[in-house]
Structure 1
Amino acid sequence: MTSATAHEDRFRRIYAGNFEQLLAYALRRVDQPADAADVVAETFLVAWRRHREIPDGAEARLWLYGVARRVLSNHLRGGVRRERLGVRLRQRLSAAVTPDPSSEVSDRLTVRAALARLGDLDREVLMLTAWEGLEPREAAAVLEVSPAVVRTRLSRARARLREFVGDDPGPPGHVFDVLATPVPKEGR
């Protein structure tokens, strides 16, 4: 038996003998079962990478608990950071987004429906330039096409969007003013 095979066999035994206990350990310490699965997966990933450090016998379980404890600690700290970031982002969004009059919402929904009728590349070109404020050469870099393709697609997409929205899209440029303010997707 080669040393690689012996290593794999030992790891399989350690995994099989400790998986359920480590999963129970993690489940008791997190809110979501998926988080517990992540903690256990990360624990065994560390064990695989540091297999030479795993003690023999019953001490292996204690070593794994120690690794799981550190992984869990990192996971919980990451959750706190994500939550703080989420709070800051929600504060910035609520300050930046003002309620729209219902006619503007209706206009935006009409534009959103018209956008859905465009081809994928035409829609993406239009959205990158209108929503993200990218120049055609920048959109070309994002889409990995030539700037000439973007300019052609942009011209065609604008014309088709005006066609889909109707003959009276409001004041000149209104369709693109409406387009510049994203509509939240349904269900969000």
Structure 2
Amino acid sequence: MITRPRFAKGTFMDTTTAKGHIFTMLDVDGDGVISRQEYLTRPERAAAALGRDAADPLVSAARSAHERVFASMDANGDGRVTFEEYAAWAGGDAFDEVCRRALGALFDLADADGDGTLGRAEFTRLRAALGNSADNAAKAFEALDTDGDGRIDRDEYLASIRGFVTDGASPMAEALHDRAGSPA
């Protein structure tokens, strides 16, 4: 089982621990592996929470992007990703090659007006669909909304996730992990 230690505000987490947080969130049933089924249900969970129909082209794009991510991280092709596989795979290259597109597609599902930003309610619904508490999602929104305009830009959202995976630092992830046991 992956433990999720707390970390002090403004500090870095080692990348193995950061990857452990993400792995634990993706391992929905907690059995120590990310199954193909678990991973590929993310777009459907997000779509349902965000009021998108399964036939929506944005849902199809998210599904396709997630299929590419899973194929990329499942090194031995057995339909199950262990933490060791995930930790070896996850990083800047994987993020840039496949994860950015999949996470961006989820962001797009939440972006109801298609303006490239999320308001607090959209952001909270997206993060709740991905397993975060509403309280932690609100804190994460505040951490990302540095200019106080009430909007989160797609690029800053993706940069924050990339920073967590590659450097163990992210104002959004810090807020999402405010309580031990809260997914990222």
Please give the range of the TM-score, normalised by the shorter of the 2 chains. under 0.3
Give me the TM-score of the superposition, normalised by structure 1. 0.23
Structure number having the greater helix percentage: 1
Structure number having the greater strand percentage: 2
Q: Which has the higher contact order (CA 8 A, sep 6+)?
A: 2
